[in-house]
Amino acid sequence: GENVEQHPSTLSVQEGDSAVIKCTYSDSASNYFPWYKQELGKRPQLIIDIRSNVGEKKDQRIAVTLNKTAKHFSLHITETQPEDSAVYFCAASMKTSYDKVIFGPGTSLSVIP
C-alpha cells in the first residue's frame, strides 16, 4: 500500500522567513496530494492540495510543488507568521475521488516572533 514519508519532523523558523516541508510517496497510482494543518487538539484542516496533472499550485503565502517522476512533493510557506505554528501533514490519495487519505508522519513548525 501507499507509504508517505515527510521531513523534517520539526522545523523552527524566524517570523518572516520561509518554511519548506518535503514529502515522498511510494505508490505511483496516487494522484491527489493534500496538505493539512493541525493545531493542538483540533481537527486536520486542509490548507492546500494538488492533483497529479499539475506541477505547482499557489495560494497567497502557501505553495505546493509536485514531481511525479520522483514521487516528491513539497509545501512552501513564505513570510511565516506566529499563527502558522502547528503540525503540518502531507498526504496522498489514489485515483478514485472517494479513496482513503494516507498521511505522512507530520512536521511540527514553530515560528519564532
Partner 1 sequence: EPEVTQTPSHQVTQMGQEVILRCVPISNHLYFYWYRQILGQKVEFLVSFYNNEISEKSEIFDDQFSVERPDGSNFTLKIRSTKLEDSAMYFCASTPKGVTYEQYFGPGTRLTVT
Q: Are strands 107-112 and 10-14 parallel, antiparallel or unpaired?
A: parallel
Of 80 and 93, the one with the shorter C-beta distance to partner 1 is: 93
Please tell me whether residue 40 binds partner 1 under the rule CB under 8 A.
no
Among 19, 84, 89, 111, binds partner 1 (CB under 8 A): 89
Q: Compute the least distance from the CB of residue 79 to partner 1, in Å.
A: 26
Please tell me whether residue 43 binds partner 1 under the rule CB under 8 A.
yes
Stretch that binds partner 1, among 28-36, 55-63, 68-76, 77-85 (CB under 8 A): 28-36
**Can you tell me which residue has the cell 523552527?**
12
Count residues binding partner 1 (CB under 8 A). 22
53-82 residues near partner 1, rule: CB under 8 A: none
Helices (H), the chain: none
72 neighbors 7 (Cβ within 8 angstroms): no
Q: Compute the least distance from the CB of residue 1 to partner 1, in Å.
A: 9
Sequence-distant (6+) residues with CB within 8 A of 67 are 55, 73
Cα 29 to Cα 41: distance, rounded to the nearest angstrom: 32
Among 51, 56, 61, 67, binds partner 1 (CB under 8 A): 51
3-state helix, strand, coil in the chain (%, to 5): 5, 55, 40
Among 22, 49, 72, 78, binds partner 1 (CB under 8 A): 49
